[in-house]
Amino acid sequence: MADIPQHDAGWPLGGSWVTRLAASRRFQAFAARVPGLRAIARAEGAAIFDVVQGFVRSQTLVALVELRLMHRLADGPATAEALASGAGLPVARMQILLQSGAAIGLLRRRRDGAFVLTLRGASILGVPGLEAMIRHHRAFYADLADPVALLRGQGQTELARFWPYVFGADGAKDPDVAATYSDLMAQSQTLVAEDTLRLVDFAQVRRLLDVGGGTGAFLTAVGQACKGPNLALFDLPVVVDGAKARFARAGLAERCTIHPGSFRDDPLPKGADMISLIRVLYDHDDSTVAALLAAVYAALPPGGRLVISEPMSGGATPDPITDVYFAFYTLAMQTGRTRSAAEILRLLKTAGFANIKIHWGYRPYVTSVVTAERDAGQAVA
């Protein structure tokens, strides 16, 4: 099995006699009694049950976040009795939650019965926007309650109601919806910006236009990291309302220009030698993406560069995160889909881009990057 990718699980040869044997209950019972095979059988059984109980594990995390138990344990060890009194739960039920949190590695139970926060649990508190995303999963999990109906496209989803701005119609005019969207996106952009800045050099850019940039979280990160570029933001009028204050707080107001508009209906501003699309493409279907890339191409000067940053499908080698979480999330949005880098490359070539390069992310579940140029020679992967 040495040549099998590390993320592959289970028996190595799909569709072969090995998988047929593994599916036999008689062989499973035999394997459980034979030394050597017994360890494999146990490991496979545990891995299968991890998949089966995955939803319960994630809901345990939701409960820990909603009750702020990890925040409370960050101050020191506590017993179920002490934590229950502040959470409005019976002690016995708090004990169930704490035991579950310890079982999945977020907490640790001490010999005296008190619970402490593990490094993994503490790390959740330190990831920008992660708690907001976990709370937001109420809508996503509601859509996954009937995954077959979701796959068949039956009915409107909770995420489609949450993200109506994507349709560019009524939702784009609702300030409350836009504010909720902008806040969640701004929080999640911190890690995306960190990884994008590691993968792409913005120092020599003269003017950067961020299309679909919300309230300017990504541009703020670029402006604080690089003193050179002038910065421009393009997004829906109701979305960019918060950008002016953000740029002012960051001391970037004089370097930033805000262009309200919709890339579905309005031409993109010209004058930028680099345009960025940060977690934009996977919100939209292929026809919208093709039109957007054509608009970006038209807005760039010869030699101008495009940066696309978002989580990407593993394509021919399915990724255990992006081909599960993000693929189903974008499906529930009912407008976009998670694409592989190869698919994005093909869309860029169709739009006329060249010198296309794929920069694999340090944390693919956060983002990976594709860069391209206008009129810059033959495309390469």
Q: Give residue limits of the domains in the chain.
A: 1-52, 54-125, 134-374
> Over the Cα atoms of the chain, what is R_g?
24
In this prediction, residue 238 carries a pLDDT of: 82
| CB-CB contact of 353 with 296 (8 Å) | no
**Measuring CA to CA, which residue among 2, 26, 25 is closest to residue 12?**
2
| CB-CB contact of 100 with 119 (8 Å) | no
- Calpha distance 375→304 (Å, rounded): 8
**Partners of 234 in the β-ladder:** 211, 259
Query: Between β-strands 256-260 and 230-235, what pairing exists: parallel, antiparallel or unpaired?
Result: parallel
Amino acid at residue number 191: L
Amino acid at residue number 124: I
DSSP string covering 121-169 = HHHHHHSTTHHHHHHHHHHHHHHTTSHHHHHHT-S--HHHHH-GGGGTS
Give how far the C-alpha of residue 212 lies from the chain's centroid of Cα atoms, to the nearest Å: 16
Residue 280: half-sphere exposure toward Cβ, Cα within 13 Å:
27
- Calpha distance 358→380 (Å, rounded): 9
pLDDT (tens place) for every residue of the chain, 381 residues total: 333 333 444 445 455 766 776 677 776 677 677 777 777 777 888 888 888 899 999 999 999 999 999 999 999 999 999 999 989 999 999 999 999 999 999 999 999 999 999 999 999 998 888 888 898 888 899 999 999 999 999 888 988 887 655 555 444 455 555 555 556 666 678 889 999 999 999 999 999 999 999 889 999 999 999 998 999 999 988 888 888 999 999 999 999 999 999 999 999 999 999 999 999 999 999 999 999 999 999 999 999 999 999 999 999 999 999 999 999 999 998 889 999 999 999 999 999 999 999 999 988 989 999 999 998 544 444
Task: Quote the tokens at residue 155.
Answer: 């009915």
**Measuring CA to CA, which residue among 252, 274, 256 is closest to residue 204?**
274
| CB-CB contact of 339 with 312 (8 Å) | yes
In this prediction, residue 48 carries a pLDDT of: 84
- Calpha distance 177→162 (Å, rounded): 7
In this prediction, residue 44 carries a pLDDT of: 81
CATH top-level class for 54-125? mainly alpha
Task: Quote the tokens at residue 73.
Answer: 């344990």
Amino acid at residue number 140: F
- Calpha distance 105→100 (Å, rounded): 9
Burial (CB count within 10 angstroms: exposed 0-12, middle 13-18, buried 19+), residue 170: exposed
Residue 316 DSSP label: T
- Calpha distance 354→372 (Å, rounded): 6
Cα–Cα separations (whole angstroms), residue 22 to 34, 37, 46? 14, 11, 15
- Calpha distance 273→306 (Å, rounded): 9
Amino acid at residue number 68: R
- 134-374: in CATH 3.30.565.60: no
